[in-house]
Chains A and B, each alone.
Chain A
């Protein structure tokens, strides 16, 4: 009889950017069962939302996640606009285009972030460094359009808060043109690499039936041949006016999930280009004042899958109930089938392949407070770090 031991991953583990706890039950090399323990990051946001008025909630919900920080406010405003008669009847046309651009830029940056992490998890650190390098210009685009690299504060009920300036659109287009060769490179580096194929194919398979039973959403479901995408099924923004396709793979393994995300970046670039070309002039905000009593549901295809918000209003300025369901809530639970049956060395990448939500990076600057003067910027810090490396190298040589 084989001996069963427990291998804990987490709650705080160098591989995880966020606290979560997996207990792997292992017989030899094989994972026979898994316990997923979450809740280390619970902040009570649904309850907090009941104490905020409608205009404050977008700021609250975009802090649920630093990576999909436009999906949650978008799903929330869609839920409220559902009470008001639907996004398309309420929001001005130009704002719909701006919403779509922000939503798709976010998908590119999120998929690049995941690609880097996935590379890191399988020990392919070159992919990690390069993916995050090419993610920087996307964040710069966000800074140009919204003023922020993360937590964009763009969404409001009835429109958006900031317009995209005409002169910015050419910069945006140029950045997209430069991004495409980078995605080509990743596609080549991953799809044509026999080592990566050997590492990721037939690992952590979710069958189509598993996806249905565990109610999995997003790229994780699409990699198993389940043809769902909120952008096409219930088009919000201007997705129904553009030409793009939903990426489906059949195999359900980690490799298929990687392919889906890489190919989706091309579609996002296509979508943004069309938006920039077709965007009409006009108002960006409908100036909604009151929210009538009623119930509304808003759904957005976040980079990880369907993001679901439910709002119940009683006609006051605060919601009675605000239910939030992030895609990872459904996807992480499916690790119960994805990781079990594989080997322990596959567990880390399998658990990461559903793209669980991590908190996002922050830019660093040292400020001299009394004079409010920047004394060091990113380059100075890199220089400091390089100098330190040189010192250490010299120490080793001695």
Chain B
């Protein structure tokens, strides 16, 4: 069974939205509570490679995208999670599943102010130590 079918079958009650922009670009949305379970399945069971995560400040929510590469077929699977509580954005960390996610969560935390619960080492990555508290460069000014 191909990867698309396996993901769909495994998480049929968890996938809110499934979208294939092209044969090699799949985006699917899930709830933030299910993130760790889905990432674990993609990374450990399907052995996809974690490419990176993208955080975006949108008018209604913070949007987090987790990009995974399926290198055998050259496909990219992107998990989309919306954090609707813009005052206190928080999501579970995936850095405990594999250390390759540590840095990007630190970056999103300092750039967008999203808290990653359970992150082993949540401190500044790129910004200076004396960067003013509560000032997040990638948040859009409203």
Residues of A within 8 A of B (CB): 38-39, 42, 44, 46-47, 82, 85-86, 212-216, 227-228, 230, 233-235, 294-297, 299, 306, 308, 310, 312, 320-321, 323, 325, 329-330, 333, 336
With CB as the reference atom, state the residue of chain A lying closest to B56.
A321
Indicate whether B65 reaches chain A with its CB closer than 8 angstroms. Answer: yes
The answer to whether A310 and B137 have CB atoms under 8 Å apart is: no
Contact of A333 among B47, B71, B72, B102 (CB under 8 A): B102
Indicate whether B27 reaches chain A with its CB closer than 8 angstroms. Answer: yes
Q: Which of B56, B71, B99, B137 has the most CB of A within 10 A?
A: B71
Indicate whether B119 reaches chain A with its CB closer than 8 angstroms. Answer: no
Min CB distance A325 to B, Å, is: 4
Binary interface encoding of chain B residues 63-86 relative to chain A, with 1 for a CB under 8 A from any of its CBs, else 0: 001010101111110100000000
Find chain A residues with CB under 8 A from B72 CB: 233
With CB as the reference atom, state the residue of chain A lying closest to B73.
A233
A130 to B68, CA, bound (A): 40
Find chain B residues with CB under 8 A from A234 CB: 24, 74-75
The answer to whether A38 and B126 have CB atoms under 8 Å apart is: yes
Given contacts A233-B73, A308-B67, 8 further A-B contacts (CB under 8 A): A213-B98, A215-B50, A215-B51, A216-B100, A295-B21, A295-B27, A297-B76, A333-B102
The answer to whether A233 and B74 have CB atoms under 8 Å apart is: yes
The answer to whether B124 and A39 have CB atoms under 8 Å apart is: yes
Min CB distance B105 to A, Å, is: 12
The answer to whether A323 and B54 have CB atoms under 8 Å apart is: yes
A193 to B75, CA, bound (A): 41
The answer to whether B51 and A306 have CB atoms under 8 Å apart is: yes
Residues of B within 8 A of A (CB): 21-22, 24-25, 27, 47, 49-52, 54, 56, 65, 67, 69, 71-76, 78, 98-104, 124-128, 137-138
The answer to whether B52 and A308 have CB atoms under 8 Å apart is: yes
With CB as the reference atom, state the residue of chain B lying closest to A236.
B74
Min CB distance B119 to A, Å, is: 14
Find chain B residues with CB under 8 A from A86 CB: 22
Min CB distance A18 to B, Å, is: 14
Min CB distance B17 to A, Å, is: 13
A212 to B104, CA, bound (A): 16
Q: Is the interface of A mostly helix, strand, loop or mixed?
A: mixed
Find chain A residues with CB under 8 A from B138 CB: 46-47
A308 to B21, CA, bound (A): 17
Find chain A residues with CB under 8 A from B50 CB: 215
Min CB distance A316 to B, Å, is: 14
Could you list some 9 contacts between A and B, CB below 8 A? A38-B126, A213-B100, A215-B49, A296-B21, A297-B76, A308-B51, A310-B54, A320-B56, A329-B52
Find chain A residues with CB under 8 A from B25 CB: 82, 296-297
Contact of B100 among A46, A312, A320, A330 (CB under 8 A): A330
A85 to B54, CA, bound (A): 22
Find chain A residues with CB under 8 A from B51 CB: 215, 299, 306, 308, 325
A47 to B50, CA, bound (A): 23
Find chain A residues with CB under 8 A from B99 CB: 213-214, 333, 336
A198 to B21, CA, bound (A): 51
Contact of B49 among A44, A228, A296, A323 (CB under 8 A): A228
Find chain B residues with CB under 8 A from A215 CB: 49-51, 98, 100-101
Contact A42 to B126, CB < 8 A, known contacts A47-B138, A214-B100: yes
The answer to whether B100 and A333 have CB atoms under 8 Å apart is: yes
The answer to whether B124 and A228 have CB atoms under 8 Å apart is: no
A294 to B21, CA, bound (A): 9
Find chain B residues with CB under 8 A from A308 CB: 51-52, 67
A296 to B50, CA, bound (A): 17
Contact A329 to B67, CB < 8 A, known contacts A39-B128, A213-B98, A215-B51: no
The answer to whether A42 and B127 have CB atoms under 8 Å apart is: yes
With CB as the reference atom, state the residue of chain B lying closest to A329.
B103
The answer to whether A228 and B71 have CB atoms under 8 Å apart is: yes
A234 to B23, CA, bound (A): 11
